[in-house]
């Protein structure tokens, strides 16, 4: 609701120059076109076209690529990589046995530390 007995404000929003509804705002200039066009260096490829050998089965190609990645990973893996491969090769029983040995060793160290602190 408006003020019934108030003054009219000096800043009238509708005073001044305006524009009609059918006039559009001034359009900003468009970006310039590139000076040189890109040139295709070779023939294009079609969808489904093989990249290396046309007669190779996709599964065989994927298997070959996975083997190459595995060989590359083995080649650049150092001491930690060898330890990881050894752990992956362990069976569940071997893993449990190793964990039990580590736990027994930890308990022995704690027991010796308590003995030293007691004396």
Tell me if 84 sits within 8 A of 77, measured CB to CB. yes
CA–CA separation, 41 vs 97, rounded Å?
Answer: 62
pLDDT at 9: 62
Contact (Cβ atoms closer than 8 angstroms) between residue 99 and residue 92 = no
Give per-residue pLDDT as tens, 41-100: 777 777 776 555 556 789 999 999 999 998 887 777 788 888 888 888 888 899 899 999
Per-residue pLDDT tens digits for 14-31: 666 666 777 777 677 788
Residue 92 burial (10 A CB sphere; 0-12, 13-18, 19+): exposed
User: CA 104 to CA 98: how far, in whole Å?
Assistant: 10
pLDDT of residue 65: 94
- pTM of this prediction? 0.31
């Amino acid at each position: 609701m408006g003020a019934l007995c108030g003054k009219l404000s000096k800043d009238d929003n509708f005073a001044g120059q305006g524009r009609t509804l059918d006039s559009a705002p001034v359009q900003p200039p468009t970006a310039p076109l590139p000076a040189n066009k890109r040139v295709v260096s070779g023939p294009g490829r079609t969808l489904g076209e093989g990249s290396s050998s046309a007669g190779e089965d996709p599964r065989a190609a994927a298997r070959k690529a996975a083997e190459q990645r595995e060989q590359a990973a083995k080649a650049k893996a150092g001491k930690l990589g060898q330890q990881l491969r050894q752990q992956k090769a362990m069976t569940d029983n071997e893993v449990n046995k190793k964990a039990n040995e580590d736990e027994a060793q930890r308990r022995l160290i704690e027991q010796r530390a308590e003995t030293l602190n007691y004396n």
